[in-house]
Amino acid sequence: MLLSAAVVMMPATALAVSTEIIPAQADVYVFEGNPDGNTASIALLQAGVGRGRKVGRIVAYIRFGLADIPKSSFFKKTRVTRATVSLFAQSTGLARADSHFLVSVARCSDSSWIEAKMAWSNRACPALEQAEDVVAIDGTELPQLFQWDVAQSVSKAVRSGGSRLTFVVSAFRIPKLTGGEREIIPEEQFGSKESVGFVRFWSRERAGFGRTGVPTLRVTYEREDTELARFMKTIVAIVSALGAFLGIWGSLRRFTHRQG
């Protein structure tokens, strides 16, 4: 009975909910048509298919630091409840203004890359993981801010104690349909090659134009007690309850003794 009473007396653990808005610490895009070229000096990111020495894919890399998100410990557990990557799409390139794109964000396990040295030929994660989220972008609605759900990747990184996390942005143009039939676009490539066209996004270098437009990672997380912490609090409550009981018992005995 004493144990049960002590446990009931334990207050419910309140979850501490916090949100961190993390700007990108590094970003760059690489182009298959210029495999050794570096774009670190360009204040834009691109994703899609472009033309250079040859037609090739364009993918963007964005790295975020996770130092502001507390790691789980023996007594406190961090649980990510929501995480989104925000990118400001400025315009499209090598495509008609009314073109549509599917833009995906995937996790990259290698965050050791350096902006000034990154090129297609030495890019991180050449074999991309499955996309975590995909957003449809309509060229007629640009410029606009878009968000991708990346809670799974961020949660995994936080659980493993990672200090950095990289995402890869890819895109491809959706063939336009008119009256139920596929419209033939002059610059379009058929067969195994993808349609030429890409989306331009603001990079972190555009911070001077507005913080809301640069690549950001928004993470909402909860901090709660672990099983060990709850067990220790239960023990403390039991000891406290036992001490109070013994104190009351001692007072009753003294009172009875005086009455006798």
CA nearest 6: which of 206, 227, 242? 242
The total number of structural domains in the chain stands at 2
Is 9 contained in some domain?
Answer: no
Confidence of residue 187 (pLDDT cuts 50, 70, 90): very low
Across the chain, mean pLDDT equals 83
Q: Are residues 210 and 236 in the same domain?
A: no
Q: Are residues 94 and 203 in the same domain?
A: yes
Summarize the confidence of residues 29-58 as an average pLDDT.
Answer: 95
CA 135, CA 146: separation in Å to the nearest integer? 8
Q: What is the DSSP letter of 140?
A: G
Which H or E run includes 138? strand 133-138
Q: Are residues 96 and 160 in the same domain?
A: yes
Task: Find the domain containing 85 and state its range.
Answer: 15-225
Does residue 142 carry a pLDDT above 70? yes
Is 4 contained in some domain?
Answer: no
Q: Are residues 158 and 34 in the same domain?
A: yes
Q: Are residues 98 and 165 in the same domain?
A: yes
CA 149, CA 136: separation in Å to the nearest integer? 13
Is 40 contained in some domain?
Answer: yes
Summarize the confidence of residues 181-204 as an average pLDDT.
Answer: 65
8 exposure class (CB count in 10 Å sphere: 0-12, 13-18, 19+): exposed
CA 168, CA 142: separation in Å to the nearest integer? 21
Q: Are residues 38 and 86 in the same domain?
A: yes
CA 242, CA 5: separation in Å to the nearest integer? 10
pLDDT given at position 182: 42
Q: What's the pTM value of the predicted model, to 2 decimals?
A: 0.79
Is 6 contained in some domain?
Answer: no
Q: Are residues 167 and 131 in the same domain?
A: yes
Is 10 contained in some domain?
Answer: no
Is 59 contained in some domain?
Answer: yes
Backbone angles phi, psi at 72, to 5 degrees: -70, 150
Does residue 10 carry a pLDDT above 50? no
Chain segment 96-129, per-residue pLDDT in tens: 989 999 999 999 999 999 999 999 999 999 998 9
* Residue 124: HSE in the Cβ half-sphere, 13 Å Cα cutoff: 24
